[in-house]
Amino acid sequence: SYEKILEIRQKHITPNIVPHFKKPLLIHNGHMQWLFDHEGRRYLDMFGGIVTVSVGHCHPKVNRALEQQINTLWHTTNIYFHPKIHEYAERLAAKMPGELKAVCFVNSGSEANDLAMLMARMHTGNQDIITFRNAYHGMSPYTMGLTALSTWRFPLPGVNNGIQHVMNPDPYLGLWGGAACRDSPIQTDRKCDCTPETGCLAGARYYEQLEEVFKYSLPRGRVAGMFAESIQGVGGTVQYPKGYIKKAAELVRANGGVFIADEVQTGFGRTGDHFWGFESHDFIPDIVTMAKGIGNGFPLAAVVTTPKIAASLGQALHFNTYGGNPMASAVGLAVLDVIEEEKLQKNSLAVGTYFLKCLAELRERFEIIGDVRGKGLMIGVELVSDRATRAPLSAPHVLEIWETCKDMGVLFGRGGLNGNVFRIKPPMCITNTDVKFAVDTLANAITEVSN
Ligand code: PMP
């Protein structure tokens, strides 16, 4: 029963795992974009188990692939060969551009970024790593240093060792967390011109600040690498000014470093226009990390890099027990098949574009919707108390709208430094009918809570 679950949680589950909602859901089963609770109530899943259920809950084809593998071989560890990991590495490498052909499988996004950081340092011989404020790259003690949202940081000594956080090129909140840029002070209601499509002066100012870090903070201006999510996920669906990432990568490389694209949320067609988020920044990274959607919920993650960078790890053994085990590889292959066969990237673009249009209309109706942004099925809705200053809507107000949506049958995620950005990243199989239901529900919840 629900009460028994609560009792067990209190006694036996460590309190760092905080469930969503005042009255958390007890989920019993799932099918495609739908989740069902213990009483059989249905919920439209707009968050996909934190951007992870890419092709749908219990997708029949993925289930069949897993079933088949379960009855063939579970596990050997990488001390022996098994065919699946090789078949899968070849398929995954074929999805990557340029020289990105060397794959190392691990089990989570944090592990992938840990390994990428190690590769960057081993390959370049430099130590310093640059990430953005507001970034999320993991929670292992190593990657917690890369993550720069105070919510997700423990007071551990040394996590910041060799890590520089630079200002976040956020076109909506801007350099000072409320004004988009110096040229477009806070009296304007809409964004300044520094959108991801056009780029603008603010983009240039962020870039100047990055240059300053090389000048003043890095030893002899040398760097091991820079990490960036192609669109910031946990940070609240933040898209960067056009051209920034490409220029940053050039600067990093000119100073001895490598550029690491964290595709944990943006990969596998979610952004609709491309298979990988970095492609919209018009450059090829040196290292790419991926997790979440890669396995539709099965623990699987990977680092893909060039053979040359991969070789730098050959100086020492680097090992993990489960990475690319037969079951994970079978699931990964089936997920790729489904994305291709069901044209889910194309669906992400079409349904996501319709979603953004409906949400933009909602913004016209509700003052508290400060911004609607994103691409494909990676969407953010920023709730504000004041459109001019872009100050966040109060936490209780945000939480009430969020919980009311849940009670009405739609599950959204939340993110951003102040938790005031609704995150919409559903399984990529959703339809326009689902969008309509989600948008109507959000409108009804805002109306109900605000009256
Ligand atoms: N990178 C990004 C962009 C993420 O969103 C996350 C997880 N939210 C991670 C890395 C870490 O992944 P994991 O939780 O699998 O360790």
Can you give the residue ranges of every domain in the chain?
2-55+343-450, 65-341
Instruction: State the pLDDT at residue 203.
Output: 63
- Give the side-chain half-sphere CA count within 13 A for 78: 15
Residue with tokens 């003052």: 367
Which atom belonging to ligand 1 lies closest to the Cα atom of 113?
Answer: 10
Contacts with 417 (C-beta within 8 Å, 6 or more apart), sequence order? 134, 149, 150, 151, 235, 236
Ligand 1 pocket test, pick from 152, 229, 260, 265 with the greatest ligand atom count within 8 Å of Cβ, gives: 265
Confidence class of residue 179 from pLDDT cuts 50, 70 and 90?
A: very low
Closest Cα to atom 10 of ligand 1: 137
Cα–Cα distances in Å, from 90 out to 24, 260, 308, 336? 41, 21, 18, 12
CA angle 214–220–222, rounded 5-degree value: 60
Greater confidence (190 vs 155) lies with 155
Which atom belonging to ligand 1 lies closest to the Cα atom of 232?
Answer: 3
Tell which residue, 372, 352, 353, has the closest CA to residue 362.
Answer: 372
Instruction: Determine the distance separating the centroid of ligand 1 and the alpha carbon of 319, expressed in angstroms.
Output: 20
Summarize pLDDT for 47-90 with one digit per residue, the tens: 999 999 999 999 999 999 999 999 999 999 888 999 999 999 99
Average pLDDT over residues 276-303: 98
Question: Is pLDDT above 50 for 370?
Answer: yes
Instruction: State the pLDDT at residue 61.
Output: 98
Say what percent of the chain tops pLDDT 70: 93
Confidence class of residue 147 from pLDDT cuts 50, 70 and 90?
A: very high
Which atom belonging to ligand 1 lies closest to the Cα atom of 301?
Answer: 15
Instruction: Determine the distance separating the centroid of ligand 1 and the alpha carbon of 303, expressed in angstroms.
Output: 13
Average pLDDT over residues 280-295: 97
Summarize pLDDT for 90-137 with one digit per residue, the tens: 999 999 999 999 999 999 999 999 999 999 999 999 999 999 999 999
> How many other C-beta atoms lie within 10 A of the C-beta of residue 64?
12
Question: Is pLDDT above 50 for 198?
Answer: no
Ligand 1 binding pocket, CB closer than 6 Å: 50, 108-110, 113, 136-138, 229, 233-234, 262, 264-265, 291
Which atom belonging to ligand 1 lies closest to the Cα atom of 234?
Answer: 5
Instruction: Determine the distance separating the centroid of ligand 1 and the alpha carbon of 257, expressed in angstroms.
Output: 23
Instruction: Determine the distance separating the centroid of ligand 1 and the alpha carbon of 66, expressed in angstroms.
Output: 24
Instruction: State the pLDDT at residue 388.
Output: 80
Confidence class of residue 202 from pLDDT cuts 50, 70 and 90?
A: low
d(CA 295, CA 64): 14
Greater confidence (339 vs 178) lies with 339
d(CA 257, CA 208): 18
Instruction: Determine the distance separating the centroid of ligand 1 and the alpha carbon of 420, expressed in angstroms.
Output: 20
Q: What is the mean pLDDT of the chain?
A: 92
Cα–Cα distances in Å, from 37 out to 25, 45, 208, 431? 7, 12, 50, 22
Instruction: Determine the distance separating the centroid of ligand 1 and the alpha carbon of 57, expressed in angstroms.
Output: 19
Summarize pLDDT for 213-247 with one digit per residue, the tens: 999 999 899 999 999 999 999 999 999 887 889 99
Highest mean pLDDT, choosing among 145-154, 168-177, 178-187, 260-269: 260-269
Question: Which of 213-217, 342-346, 428-432, 437-441 has the lowest average pLDDT?
Answer: 213-217
Instruction: Determine the distance separating the centroid of ligand 1 and the alpha carbon of 185, expressed in angstroms.
Output: 34
Name the fold adopted by 2-55+343-450. Aspartate Aminotransferase, domain 1 (3.90.1150)
Question: Is pLDDT above 90 for 194?
Answer: no
d(CA 358, CA 338): 27
Instruction: Determine the distance separating the centroid of ligand 1 and the alpha carbon of 231, expressed in angstroms.
Output: 13
Instruction: State the pLDDT at residue 184.
Output: 45
Tell which residue, 154, 139, 149, 133, has the closest CA to residue 109.
Answer: 139
Confidence class of residue 191 from pLDDT cuts 50, 70 and 90?
A: very low
The model carries a pTM of 0.95
Which atom belonging to ligand 1 lies closest to the Cα atom of 107?
Answer: 15
Confidence class of residue 175 from pLDDT cuts 50, 70 and 90?
A: low
Question: Is pLDDT above 80 for 28?
Answer: yes
Ligand 1 pocket test, pick from 105, 114, 136, 168 with the greatest ligand atom count within 8 Å of Cβ, gives: 136
Name the fold adopted by 65-341. Aspartate Aminotransferase; domain 2 (3.40.640)
Ligand 1 pocket test, pick from 17, 51, 110, 227 with the greatest ligand atom count within 8 Å of Cβ, gives: 110
Tell me which H or E stretch contains 329: helix 326-341
Which tokens in the block code for residue 182?
A: 């110096």
Ligand 1 pocket test, pick from 105, 131, 137, 289 with the greatest ligand atom count within 8 Å of Cβ, gives: 137
Confidence class of residue 387 from pLDDT cuts 50, 70 and 90?
A: confident
Instruction: Determine the distance separating the centroid of ligand 1 and the alpha carbon of 34, expressed in angstroms.
Output: 23
Question: Is pLDDT above 70 for 185?
Answer: no
Question: Is pLDDT above 90 for 377?
Answer: yes
Question: Is pLDDT above 60 for 183?
Answer: no
